[in-house]
Amino acid sequence: MRVVIAEDSVLLREGLARLLADGGIETAGVAHDGPGLVAAVAEHAPDLAIVDVRMPPTHTDEGLRAALEARSRRPGLPILVLSQYVEEQYATELIGGGAAAVGYLLKERIADVSEFLDAVRRVASGGTVIDPEVIEQLLTRHRGDDPLSSLTTRERQVLALMAEGRSNTAIAARMIVTEGAVEKHISGIFTKLRLEAAPDDHRRVLAVLAYLRR
């Protein structure tokens, strides 16, 4: 497996590269800013990009924005965000891009190297690894009783397929129903999860996050 690391701290970059090497994972390239990440992905075509959220020049959300750009240029690129922060807008957009081959881990909550390496491999192979604290912060505005218990069996099946990153067409084919039926189930999911339409919310993403949090 070959990875690209985007991290502006030299010590953290080198430390990550050493941990990965010990686990048999090659660091094909490194970057210290957003444009460097996009360039490194284009040059090395890695199996995974490990990205920090806050990078030069403003140290706000450059890493996540660069990750989204890199993925738009190389669709399906597995991305593992490794940060001290949860950047809500772009984190939601990244996870909502399919909720597949995506990871978001908080640096201070990683306590076991073997678990970290396992997360790297899972994301690289198309899985999803999201720290529960990240999910909690992204769902702060949508807390309440557990609404998942009110979903029907069909709605749960649809939501599970949504969490795999499948489109309505793919869900319909898998369940052998019409796309109209899928849309009806999704509407019911949104209603029961109390996810009202809003210009700054991604209801499909929030529904998947609620499912992953269970």
Check: pTM over 0.75? Answer yes or no.
no
* Mean pLDDT of the region 181-191: 91
Q: Which fold has domain 144-213?
A: Arc Repressor Mutant, subunit A (1.10.10)
Query: For the ranges 58-62, 79-83, 94-98, which has the lowest average pLDDT?
Result: 94-98
Burial class (CB in 10 A: 0-12, 13-18, 19+), 122: middle
Query: For the ranges 13-17, 113-117, 209-213, which has the lowest average pLDDT?
Result: 209-213
Encode burial over 100-121: b for 16+ CB neighbours within 10 A, e otherwise: bbbbbbbeeeeeeeeebbebbb
Q: If pLDDT is split at 50, 70 and 90, which confidence band does 97 have?
A: low
The pLDDT tens digits of the residues spanning 108-152 come to 888 889 989 999 999 999 888 888 777 667 665 444 556 777 888
Domain 2-138 matching CATH 3.10.310.30: the answer reads no
Phi and psi torsions of 130, nearest 5°: -125, 125
142 CB-near residues (< 8 Å, 6+ apart): 193, 194, 195, 206, 210
Q: Where are the domains of the chain?
A: 2-138, 144-213
Query: For the ranges 54-68, 122-136, 182-196, which has the lowest average pLDDT?
Result: 122-136
Provide the 10 A C-beta neighbour count for residue 212.
Answer: 18
- Residues paired with 212 in a beta bridge: none
